[in-house]
Each structure stands twice: as C-alpha cells, then as structure tokens.
C-alpha cells in the first residue's frame, strides 16, 4: 500500500537523527579508546596501548573472571528454569494469572528494590555474600527473560508435533528430549544469550549481593568505581570491549531467533 510503505525522505531523516543520538556517544567512546593520548582534546594517533594496560591490570582481570563465572552459572540455571517455565505456562489448560505475574515481575521491579530485598533476605538468614549469592540473584531476572523469549516462540508453535511423537510411540521424556527441545533450540539459545548479556552487564543487584571486599567484585562494579574516580583511557578501552562482547552475543541471539520464526 503506497500511503504507508512509501519510502519517505522525512522518515529517513528522522531515523538518521535518532540513530545518531543512540550511537554517536558510544562511537566517541570507542574512538577515544584507540587514541594514543587517551584524551578527548586531541587525536594523537591510533594505539592499542590502553588495551595493553587493561591486560596488565590484575583487578580488572579478576573482575572479568568473576563476571564470566557469574554469567555462565546464572545463564545455565536460568535457561533450564526459564525454558521449563515457558513450556509449562504455555501448555497449562487453566490460566495461571498469578504465575504469569510472578514471571513478569522481575522485568519491571526497580533494580534497587530487588537489590535491597535480596541483601535483607541473605543477611537475615546469615548467608555469606559472594559470587553464589550474585548468581542466585541474577537467575531471578535472567529466567524471566528466557521465559519471555521462549514463550514468544511457543506462541506460534505447532504443538501437534508433540502429539505426533506420542502417537508414534514416544513417551513423555523421549518426546521432550527428541522433539520439543530440538524444535525450540533456536529460541532457547537466543534466550540464554540474552540472559548472559544481561547478567554480565548487571550492576546494582550484583553490587548489593556481592558482599564487602574485592574478592567477588564483577566487571560492572569495577567499571562503576573507575567511573566515579574519573574518566580514564582504560575505562574507554574496557567499555569498548564490554560493549563489543554484548553486541556480538546479541546479534547471534537475534539471528538464531529469526532463523526459525514463522
């Protein structure tokens, strides 16, 4: 239809402006991370020296390692829980309004509220704060997002393949393993990748549930303390690496999820 699909010059202009607003600040950051002087005042040539400085910074490497451990553990747990939840909710014969609300809540509850709630909870039970408590906390919102991604796929899923499998002689477990999970695999992996990026980027909840001391500091916590300290070329380099990793993972996730969407 011409009236709505006509490529419009004004539309192009609007999009160019919005994309500039969204991407120029990030692009500046990336550019500065390669600036030999490290300062925003003058370009003194291309250099990787700030990345070299990162590699020599034990604090950052330690934080990066913690982040990876938390991200992988939280992703593994939340992928299993979120996928089962999505399948369960989608195949329920009764409407589960309370469960739906429970699964939706982590996406809208203010981070700070969840963070203080978890801190209160863990300390009232005398649980030592550390990487395990961060993982437990991250699983909460990670599983909500895995659930959302997998459910979106299930909305146009032909469940008759599950019945076909039973009809051909497969039991419940075999059907789950050989039919349902492989057919949902792209969405499950996409959800897992999203959970992973959310987890490695999450700051406030990790900050409250990590406990005192440096031992369980994560990369976003490290970045936060560096930013508060001031702008340094190392932060630019670190930020570039973190953004690059997130963007790559997200693009893979998007690509996977589109492959089998109807």
Q: Which of residues 37-76 bind other proteins (CB under 8 A)?
A: 39-41
- Other CB atoms within 10 A of residue 172 CB: 10
Beta bridge partners of 46: 35
Q: Which of 56, 167, 213, 229 binds other proteins (CB under 8 A)?
A: 167
Q: Which of 20, 48, 55, 227 binds other proteins (CB under 8 A)?
A: 227
Nearest-approach distance from CB 70 to other proteins, in angstroms:
15
Binding segment (CB under 8 A) for other proteins, from list 44-52, 58-66, 68-76, 254-262: 254-262
CA angle 101, 107, 109 (to 5 degrees): 85
Nearest-approach distance from CB 229 to other proteins, in angstroms:
12
Instruction: Tell me the H-state helices in 156-232.
Output: 160-167, 172-175, 181-201, 204-209, 219-229
Q: Which of 74, 208, 216, 217 binds other proteins (CB under 8 A)?
A: 208
DSSP string, 52-92: HHHHT-HHHHHHHHHHHHHHHHHHHHHHHHHHHHHHHHHH-
Size of the site for other proteins (CB under 8 A): 110
Quick one: which of 157, 187, 159, 158 has its CA closest to 83?
187
- Dihedral sign for Cα 99, 101, 104, 106, please: negative
Q: Is 216 in the site for other proteins (CB under 8 A)?
A: no
> For 203, phi and psi rounded to 5 degrees?
-115, -55
Q: Which of 84, 148, 152, 189 binds other proteins (CB under 8 A)?
A: 84
Q: Which of 19, 43, 52, 59 binds other proteins (CB under 8 A)?
A: 19
Instruction: State both tokens at 52.
Output: 């070299």
Q: Which of 46, 56, 58, 93 binds other proteins (CB under 8 A)?
A: 93
Segment 114-143, which members bind other proteins (CB under 8 A)? 114, 116-121, 123-124, 136-137, 139-140, 143
Nearest-approach distance from CB 29 to other proteins, in angstroms:
5
Binding segment (CB under 8 A) for other proteins, from list 44-52, 54-62, 68-76, 84-92: 84-92
């Amino acid at each position: 239809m011409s009236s709505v699909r006509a490529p419009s010059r004004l539309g192009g202009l609007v999009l160019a402006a919005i994309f500039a607003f969204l991407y120029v600040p990030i692009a500046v950051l990336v550019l500065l991370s390669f600036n030999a002087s490290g300062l925003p005042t003058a370009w003194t040539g291309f250099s990787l020296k700030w990345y070299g400085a990162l590699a020599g910074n034990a604090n950052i490497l330690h934080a990066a390692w913690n982040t990876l451990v938390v991200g992988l553990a939280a992703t593994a747990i939340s992928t299993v829980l979120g996928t089962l939840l999505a399948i369960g909710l989608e195949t329920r014969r009764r409407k589960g309004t309370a469960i739906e609300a429970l699964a939706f809540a982590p996406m809208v509850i203010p981070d700070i509220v969840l963070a203080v709630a978890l801190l209160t909870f863990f300390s009232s039970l005398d649980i030592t704060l550390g990487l395990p408590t961060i993982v437990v906390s991250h699983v909460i919102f990670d599983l909500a997002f895995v659930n959302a991604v997998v459910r979106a796929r299930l909305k146009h899923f032909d469940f008759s393949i599950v019945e076909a499998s039973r009809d051909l002689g497969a039991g419940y477990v075999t059907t789950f393993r050989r039919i349902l999970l492989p057919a949902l695999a792209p969405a499950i992996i996409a959800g897992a990748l999203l959970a992973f990026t959310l987890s490695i980027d999450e700051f406030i909840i990790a900050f409250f549930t990590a406990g005192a001391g440096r031992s369980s500091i994560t990369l976003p916590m490290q970045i936060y303390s560096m930013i508060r300290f001031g702008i340094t070329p190392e932060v630019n380099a670190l930020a570039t690496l973190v953004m690059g990793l997130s963007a790559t993972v997200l693009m893979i996730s998007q690509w996977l999820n589109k492959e089998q969407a109807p």
